[in-house]
């Protein structure tokens, strides 16, 4: 069974640009969540989608958005990039939404903003 796939693995963008990251969950998983990991702030929760609806959202500005498609694949978008958005963005999928579910993580997309 294929794991969670994130594309691209590495990305370099210029300040002010926007970026879209993609996540393909494990087949049959309907919940997808996104996280940001930086050396300074550690791991932080961005948002969670289940059946194409955003169920939970972390404390991030509106420049960070996401969506989930009918096949459970998800994308996250960051507009007007800032240097501080440089981070490893991780996606995780699970069969269920919420606290009781085991999540499976992808290897992440390393975004560098210059």
Partner 1 sequence: DAKTTQPNSMESNEEEPVHLPCNHSTISGTDYIHWYRQLPSQGPEYVIHGLTSNVNNRMASLAIAEDRKSSTLILHRATLRDAAVYYCILRDDGGTSYDKVIFGPGTSLSVIP
| Site track for partner 1 across 6-45, x = CB under 8 A | ---------------------------x--------xxxx
Q: Which residues 42-81 are close enough to bind partner 1 by CB under 8 A? A: 42-45, 48, 56-59
Minimum CB distance to partner 1, residue 90 (Å): 5
DSSP string, 1-24: ----EEE-SEEEE-TT--EEEEEE
Using CB under 8 A as the criterion, which residues of the chain lie in contact with partner 1 when the complex forms? Answer: 4, 33, 42-45, 48, 56-59, 90, 92, 98-100, 102-108
């Amino acid at each position: 069974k294929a794991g969670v796939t994130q594309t691209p693995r590495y990305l370099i963008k210029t300040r002010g640009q926007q970026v879209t990251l993609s996540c393909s969950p494990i087949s049959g998983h309907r919940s997808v969540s996104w996280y940001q990991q930086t050396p300074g702030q550690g791991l932080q929760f961005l948002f969670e989608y289940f059946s194409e609806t955003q169920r939970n959202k972390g404390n991030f500005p509106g420049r960070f958005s996401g969506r989930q498609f009918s096949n459970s694949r998800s994308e996250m978008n960051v507009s007007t990039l800032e240097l501080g958005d440089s981070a490893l963005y991780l996606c995780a999928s699970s069969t269920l939404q919420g606290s009781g579910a085991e999540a499976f993580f992808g290897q992440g997309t390393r975004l560098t903003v210059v």
